[in-house]
Amino acid sequence: MFTKLLIANRGEIACRIIRTARRMGLRTIAVHSDADANAQHVAMADVAHRIGPAAPRDSYLRIEAILEAARISGAQAIHPGYGFLSENAAFAEACAAAGLIFVGPPPAAIRAMGGKSQAKALMAEAGVPLVPGYHGEAQDLPTLQSAADSIGYPVLIKASAGGGGKGMRVVESATDFPAALEGAQREARSSFGDDRVLVEKYLTRPRHIEIQVFADTHGNTVSLFERDCSIQRRHQKIIEEAPAPGMTTTMRHAMGEAAIAAARAVNYVGAGTVEFIAEGDSFHFMEMNTRLQVEHPVTEAITGLDLVEWQLRIAAGEPLPLTQNQLGIQGHAIEVRLYAEDPARNFLPSVGTLSHLKLPEGIRIDSGVRPGDTITPDYDPMIAKLIVHAPDRRAALARLSQALAQTEVVGVQTNLPLLRALATHPAFAGGTFDTGLIARHPELLDGTATTPDLALAAAALTILNTRSQSAIIPGDPHSPWSAQDSWRPNLPGHQTLFLRHQGETTEITAHPAPNGGWYLEWDSIQHTAHHDAASLYRLDGTAARATVIAAPPRLTAVLDGANHIIEEIDPHAPPEAASAGAGRVISPIPGRVARLLVQQGDTVAKGQTLLVLEAMKMELPLTAAAPGTVAALRCAEGEMVAEGIELVLLDPA
C-alpha cells in the first residue's frame, strides 16, 4: 500500500477521501485554487498546494499543475474524486507516465465509456439493452436532425463526453431541435472540452436506477446492488436511495448481471457506476460513470462498506475484499443534496456567505463547507449531503424528515424547502415516483411560508434587545442618555419599529414589560413577548425555539425549519430607486458571459435569448421581457460580471 495520497479535487469529496485515508494511516495532500485557500479540505489535509486561480480551467483542470504538486509533495498516488479530471483518460495516462498510481480505472476503460456513442456500441455487442437512438460519429445538424425525426419526438440530446445534466436538452418538436442542439453542444464544449452529442428517445415516465460495480486486477467483478436516483432537477439528482423502492429480486439480479457484463466488456478496474433507465419491468443502459459517484454513501450504508477504502486497496493491487456471495443489503438509506439554489427561480444558483449553518446530529453528513464560508460562482453550489439509514424505508423517511427539520442555512437561498416537501410527498413516500415528479408537481417549488407572529416577534425582540444593550455616548455606558430603554419624562415609554416581510410593512409599538420582556402591539392587538434564552422565544404564553441571524437592516428568523426574511425599514428614508424595467437585462448571479447573441441596433422579440450566462457549471439564457431594439450592450463575450449588473439595455418597441 502506498503511504502518500494526493486528492485532485475539492469540497465534500476531498474531505470524504481524506477521512478514509487518514483512518488507513495514509498521509494526505490537498490541492487548492485561490478561491479555496482557506477551504475545509485544505485545513483537513496534512499538506496543501496552490494550483492556480479560481476558475477550474486554471486550477483543478490543469494536469501539469496537479502533477507538479504531486512531485513536490512526494505523493505516490492520486485520487481524482468525481468531476473535474476524474474521467479524463489523458490525466490517468499522465499520472502513469509520472510514476503515480491513478486511483481509478485504466485509461482504455475511461475512453471506452467516456464517449457515450462508443460505449453504447460496446454495450450492444455485450448484450446490454439500449434505449433507441443515434450514437454515430457524424455530428452535423442535418444528420442529427434526421436521426431525431426518425426516432420520434420527444428526444433527448446528451453530451457524449460527460454527465451531470451538462450538455443535455429535451426536444419536444423538430422546430426546436436546431437551437437545442446548439445549446447542448456549447455547454458540452464548456464543461468537457468535447461538443459531440448523441440523440435518444426520451422516455416520459422513467426511473433512473444505477448499479454500483467494483472490479480488481485479479479478474473479479461484483455488483454492490442498486440505487434509485429518480428525484432530479435540471437532469441532476437531488435525492438518492438504496435499495430502489419496489425492486424485485429478479430485476435486481438481471440489472446486476448487465452491469457486470458492461464492466467486463471494457476490462474495468476500480469503482464504477452503470446507469440505467427503467420503465415497468424493462431497463436500458444509459452510460457508465468511470469513477466514484456523489451518491455512493447510500451504498455504503446498506452494505456496511467503505467504498473509498475499496478503491485505495484495489489501486494498490489487492483483490476485492468480498465476493458476490458475501455481499448483502441491510436496511434502507436515503441521501439528499442540500444546494445553494432557488427552486422558485428555475434552480438558479445562489451566491453568498453562509452566515449561519446548522446541520443535524445523529446522521451522516458529507460537507465541504463551514459556517462563514462563501458559496462562489466558480464551483458546484452543493452545501452538504444528508444521509439517513434505518431498518426499513418508512423509518428512513421519518429520520430524513426529522433531519431536514433540524437543518438551518442563512446567507444563501437553498433547496431546503423543496427537500422537506419531497420527503413527505405522497408519491415519494409511496415509492411510485419517476424522474418527472418535480415537474408534475410545481407546488413543490413554492417555498414561500407565511410569516408567523412568533417569527415577527423574535425579530422585533432581537432589535429591541440590541438597542437596549448599546451605548450612544462612547466611554460612558452609565449615562442616562446612553440607554435605549424607551424611557420618557411624564409619558409612557415606547419604541416604534417598522418591519417589512413578504412585501408588507408592519408597524410595531413596543413597551417595556416586567422581567425584561416587552409588550408588542401590531394590527391593534397587544402581545406579551419575551426572549428567555439563546434560542427560546415566548409570545403570549407560547414558547418555541427560533434562531435569529441579524445582518442589519435584514434579519432572518429560522422557525420550524423555515427561513423568514424580515427587514427593518426607516419610514422617513427617501423612496428606493425604481427597479429594473423591461428594457434592462440584469445579471441575476455572478458569472461569465458565455455567448452574446445580439448586437447594438438589433430588433428583438419578446422571449428572444439575448445572451447566455455561465455560472456554477450551468448555462443560464437571459431573454428579452418585451420586444424592442438593443440600445446598448454593457458586457462582452467571455467577460465576468457581478450580480445586479446591467448587461443589455433595450428600447421598447
pLDDT digit string, tens, across residues 477-507: 666 655 555 666 665 668 899 999 988 999 9
Q: What's the mean pLDDT in 134-157?
A: 93
What number is the average pLDDT over the span 453-466? 92
- Counting every residue written for the chain, the total comes to 653
pLDDT value at position 246?
A: 94
> Which residues are CB-neighbours of 545 under 8 A, at least 6 positions away?
535, 536, 537
* pLDDT at position 187: 85
**Where in the sequence of the chain do the CATH 3.40.50.20 domains occur?**
4-103
pLDDT, tens digit, 9 for 90 and up, residues 176-189 = 999 999 999 988 88
Residue 601 amino acid letter: G
- How do residues 50-100 score in pLDDT, each as one tens digit? 999 998 999 999 999 999 999 999 999 999 999 999 999 999 999 999 999
Residue 34 has pLDDT above 50, yes or no: yes
For residue 110, report the phi and psi dihedrals to the nearest 5 degrees. Answer: -60, -45
Which of 57-66, 190-199, 484-493, 641-650 is predicted least confidently?
484-493
Query: What is the rounded average pLDDT of the residues 331-350?
Result: 92
Instruction: Look at residue 161 in the predicted model and tell me its pLDDT.
Output: 79
Q: Of 494, 361, 261, whose CA–CA distance to 274 is shortest?
A: 261
pLDDT of residue 575: 63
**Which cell goes with 468?**
437596549
Closest CA relative to residue 51, chosen from 63, 38, 39: 63
Which CATH architecture best describes the domain 453-472+481-568? 2-Layer Sandwich (3.30)
Percent of the chain surpassing pLDDT 90? 70
Q: Any residues with CB less than 8 A from the CB of 261 and at least 6 apart, and which?
A: 126, 127, 128
Q: Answer yes or no: are the C-beta atoms of 389 and 403 closer than 8 Å.
A: no
Q: Residue 580: its pLDDT value, please?
A: 45
Tell me what the mean pLDDT of segment 526-554 comes to. 90
Q: What's the whole-number mean pLDDT along residues 627-648?
A: 90
Fold of 132-201: Dna Ligase; domain 1 (3.30.1490)
In this structure, the number of other CB atoms found within 10 A of the CB of residue 564 comes to 23
Looking at residue 203, what is its pLDDT?
A: 83
pLDDT tens sequence across 13-25: 999 999 999 999 9
Q: Which of 188-197, 308-317, 577-586 has the lowest mean pLDDT?
A: 577-586
Amino acid, single-letter form, for residue 406: Q
Cβ atoms 81, 13 nearer than 8 A: yes
Position 577 pLDDT exceeds 50? no
Q: Between 331 and 281, whose confidence is greater?
A: 331
Average pLDDT over residues 439-463: 88
pTM for the whole thing? Answer: 0.84
- DSSP 8-class letter at 637: T
**Residue from 111, 169, 291, 420 carrying the catalytic annotation:** 291
CATH, domain range 4-103: 3.40.50.20
**Residues 420, 39: Cα–Cα separation, whole Å:** 28
Strand order through the sheet with 640-641: 618-623, 609-615, 591-596, 640-641
Within 13 Å and on the Cβ side, how many CA atoms surround 370? 9
Whether residue 353 has pLDDT greater than 80: yes
- In the annotation, is 291 catalytic? yes
Q: According to CATH, where is 2.40.50.100 located in the chain?
A: 584-652
Cis peptide before 552 (omega within 30 of 0): no
Three-class SS state of 438: helix
Sign of the C-alpha dihedral, residues 425, 427, 429, 433? negative
User: For residue 157, how far is the Cα from the chain centroid?
Assistant: 22
Q: Which element (helix H / strand E) includes 64?
A: helix 63-73
Q: How confident is the model at residue 579 (pLDDT cuts 50, 70, 90)?
A: very low
Mean pLDDT of the chain: 91
Instruction: Give residue 438's pLDDT.
Output: 94
Considering the segment(s) 584-652 as one domain, its CATH architecture is Beta Barrel (2.40)
- Residue 50 C-alpha from the chain's centroid: 25
Average pLDDT over residues 432-449: 87
Distance CA 275, CA 269 (A): 17
Please name the residues in contact with 347: beta carbons below 8 A apart, sequence gap of 6 or more. Answer: 233, 234, 339, 341, 415
Closest listed residue to residue 527, CA positions, set 515, 513, 516: 513
Cell output for 332: 434502507
Q: Which CATH superfamily is domain 208-445 in?
A: ATP-grasp fold, B domain (3.30.470.20)
Nearest to 331 by CA among 309, 300, 310, 362: 300
